Chains A and B, each alone.
Chain A
């Protein structure tokens, strides 16, 4: 087994991942990289068709032309979420070619990728670096994958590619609209998903780039979210995604009274704390509670005549309605969650598609996450030091990706509305199973049984002390959860390290060990 060292967050972590050296987390903002960014080989126009037509007949042919061979790193993206057909097609082709030992580098994986377990089994795929949940998460958690998984935030993925930590040999970008030259966007076509931001790094830094579409249009495909000048090959296939699993026809706000209560408390907190003010900005997710928080924000803003400068989405029909009603000036969108979001992004110049480069990349000359006044995020667990976990559940299984979560922690105020108790699972515990975000960046935990403000945020504590809100210490909340659920037993894990969790700067903040399978 590789050597473990204790990092600055006090967690034991690996110093080597799949044969590559890894740097332990050194503290927020402590690690300063040196050197220059990674760069792909210089290309020459003379090697590309003069008529701009880079189209080949099949994914197989594209992979062959891109020089596929054993041990390569192949990337795909999660713009189509659980409706993605591209990754499965790519690995079906790789399997048929008899290529082995691939490092799969998706921006995220979904339950639809259960199909790929057979390729993990037979050695076609050596290991996955990217978030995983559902069946893949279970497979990896139980220690079945050959290599170690690496989980990164969206910003961390951009950073890893830019810094050369992950050198992508072939990027395969599924595009709802593309031209034969390789220009592509996510706005048009049956598989419209809004934007293609997660593939930006890949298009810039991968050695070979393949665009796959089911909607080939004549040059130029406008807007060119992905620029054909970065693309080697294009392919048209019958279908790249299942529309109803890509975006929902219509997003609905939760009807759960308990979630609505959480959302209401969160909005009341923000109101008292003076966060909802003229020209403010907020991050709004598409989860049940976040959507409802947005609606409560909306009513406060309407009542007080407040206008937000921008909202960071996850866009959806509710956020779009705020844009259209003039309650927010801009939506800076990271991914669209419903058809209203796609329509608005296509038609409204104030609905802007962003990428992990502009919003999240930590090794850049700034990014806009710290400019956001308040981010409302989720978590599976929080500990008494405000450290939070988003990737595993208390039973140790990998169930969620990090997404933009770590990156959003740099917002001015970070609030996690969480049910304190959910079916006997207490959300506040002594120590998180897996550390994903250091407590110093997490400001407020809102639960149905009380609100805990991080003692580091004396300004917030002062601002809300007379609000009448149910303010409690995080220890009080933990005790309350334990009174209801009982004190949790210590989770037994196996020895084997199955995944490494990266911080936004590429250092290792924690590791995940194999779970003990329930007999």
Chain B
């Protein structure tokens, strides 16, 4: 077995992270060398934390070099645990406390307009992500993590789930494909994950496997709440099987499309207009609606072009999608605004809903405004619009009385 392990990151551009070098020795006790830009403020507590960690894993003799770039304690703990576990076989987990801020729940039909991707092994992006108010935050274990760092990322994501306040955003994790994905679940699910994104999904079978594993893990930890799935369709085969996937397990709440991989699979260029993926997108929307889950659009990759993002989001909404992915926090508000109902849409819906309520009170079976009859699906759509508007604070409390006054 190796005697030396290196975890974490250091370098000019690295922030809020640390690099640890751990060398196991046969004698000499614990020696910790700390280099840190916050040594004046946190030097003693960093050394204490490392000592505690080594003691936890029953390491008696070792030299630990810590090169710290302002890592928070949960990051140092993840890096230390990885360093130890590269050298010693143990099932113990050196867990930071579960913060009270992180025990909130989610619900099946909550909005998923914007979901922000965070690379799972990059701590600097995690702390403030929730402040930008995305509907969901995805800690990504898949494409944004290099193969060499997959293991470290699992521990970091796990600790982030326990320590970082995402301020009410739905807590999501994107797992890896295949067996690696099944393994990922073991690390993250016991820490209040609301939703798992399943990449490159091509069959309902795999989702069933994931679901079984999920139930098993939740049971082991005595959790009662459900964990939702959002499979991502990223291939021609996936598109063909969209409905099968969306309806394969009862905890699928949304179906997303990943256009970078999809267009690559088709062997075509991805364009801003998106004509090449129109069929896939429409098929996905239809499959999702048929299965009673939310259709969610791909990410928009040009983070500087807010105008094009807004146009894309509006188009996406017009196709029937109910959200998009974000790769930069500045995209969140643009997307939210685009998916939210327009003022004239809300105004029209208010009138319809008021007319519906009036008809109900009077015991009338038919809803009408003036001489115009309103069909039931129109009423349903209006109620959905009002629901959205209320949830998004686009309508003041007690708006009903204000409509009456007009």
Contacts and interface: CB of A to CB of B under 8 A. Distances in A.
A428 to B, nearest CB: 13
A258 B38 contact: no
A518 B36 CA distance: 9
B330 interface: yes
Given A423-B70, A489-B40, A448 B15 contact: no
Interface string B294-335: 000000000000000000000000000000000011100000
B105 interface: no
B72 interface: yes
A258 B128 contact: yes
How big is the B interface, by class? 20 to 34
Most chain A C-beta atoms within 10 Å of own C-beta, residue among B38, B44, B70, B73: B38
Contacts of A492: 40
A448 B128 contact: yes
A424 interface: yes
Interface in A391-444: 394-396, 421-425
Given A260-B330, A394-B41, A489-B42, A423 B16 contact: yes
B131 A488 contact: no
A395 B16 contact: no
How big is the A interface, by class? 20 to 34
Contacts of A491: 40-41
Given A486-B45, A489-B45, A423 B124 contact: yes
B43 A489 contact: yes
A348 B38 CA distance: 47
Nearest to B40: A395
Contacts of B16: 423-424
Contact of A423 (B37, B39, B40): B37
A35 interface: no
A258 B40 CA distance: 25
A258 B329 CA distance: 9
Contacts of B41: 394-395, 424-425, 485, 488-489, 491
B123 to A, nearest CB: 10
Given A257-B132, A261-B132, A395-B39, A423 B44 contact: no
A39 interface: no
A395 B37 CA distance: 8
A449 interface: yes
Contact of A424 (B35, B38, B44, B131): B38
Contacts of A424: 16, 38, 41-42, 70-72
B69 interface: yes
Contacts of A261: 128, 131-132, 329
A423 B36 CA distance: 11
Interface in A27-52: none
A484 B329 contact: no
Nearest to B14: A423
A481 to B, nearest CB: 11
Interface in B5-56: 15-16, 35, 37-45
B44 A257 contact: no
B378 interface: no
A340 B15 CA distance: 33
B128 A423 contact: no
A166 to B, nearest CB: 32
B266 interface: no
A268 B143 CA distance: 37
Contacts of A396: 40
Contacts of B45: 486, 489
A492 B44 CA distance: 12
Interface string B113-136: 000000000001001100110000
Interface string A254-267: 00011011000000
Contacts of A515: 40
Interface string A466-510: 000000000000000000111011011000000000000000000
Interface string B49-92: 00000000000000000000111110000000000000000000
Given A449-B131, A491-B40, A423 B329 contact: no
A396 B71 CA distance: 20
Contacts of B124: 423
A288 to B, nearest CB: 14
A484 B42 contact: no
A422 B16 CA distance: 8
B141 to A, nearest CB: 22
Contact of B131 (A394, A448, A518): A448
Contacts of A448: 128, 131
A423 B10 CA distance: 13
B330 A257 contact: yes
A395 B40 CA distance: 5
B72 A484 contact: yes
Interface string B143-179: 0000000000000000000000000000000000000
A425 B128 contact: no
B177 to A, nearest CB: 29
Interface in A226-259: 257-258
Contacts of A422: 70
Most chain B C-beta atoms within 10 Å of own C-beta, residue among A448, A449, A486, A488: A486
A257 B328 contact: yes
Nearest to A396: B40
Contacts of A257: 128, 132, 328-330
Contacts of A485: 41-42, 72
Interface string A204-221: 000000000000000000
B40 A394 contact: yes
Contacts of A394: 38, 40-41
A92 B170 CA distance: 63
B328 A423 contact: no
A52 to B, nearest CB: 53
Most chain B C-beta atoms within 10 Å of own C-beta, residue among A261, A394, A424: A424
A137 to B, nearest CB: 15
Contacts of A518: 35, 39
A486 B36 CA distance: 15
Contacts of B44: 489
A204 to B, nearest CB: 42
A486 B72 CA distance: 9
Contacts of B37: 395, 423
Nearest to A425: B38
A424 B124 CA distance: 10
Nearest to A421: B127
Contacts of B42: 424, 485-486, 488-489
Contacts of B43: 489
A395 B38 CA distance: 7
B124 to A, nearest CB: 7
A492 B69 CA distance: 20
Nearest to B38: A424
A486 B330 contact: no
A484 B40 contact: no
Interface in A252-293: 257-258, 260-261
A375 B400 CA distance: 43
A396 B70 CA distance: 17
A399 B38 CA distance: 15
A449 B124 CA distance: 16
A38 to B, nearest CB: 40
Contacts of B69: 423
Nearest to A395: B40
Nearest to B16: A423
Interface of B: 15-16, 35, 37-45, 69-73, 124, 127-128, 131-132, 328-330
Given A258-B128, A395-B41, A424-B72, 17 more contacts: A257-B329, A261-B128, A261-B131, A261-B132, A395-B39, A423-B69, A423-B70, A423-B124, A424-B38, A424-B41, A424-B70, A449-B131, A488-B41, A489-B43, A489-B44, A489-B45, A515-B40
5 contacts: A257-B329, A258-B128, A394-B41, A423-B15, A518-B35
Nearest first, the 10 A-B pairs at minimum CB distance are A423-B70, A257-B329, A395-B40, A488-B41, A424-B70, A491-B40, A423-B15, A424-B38, A423-B16, A258-B128
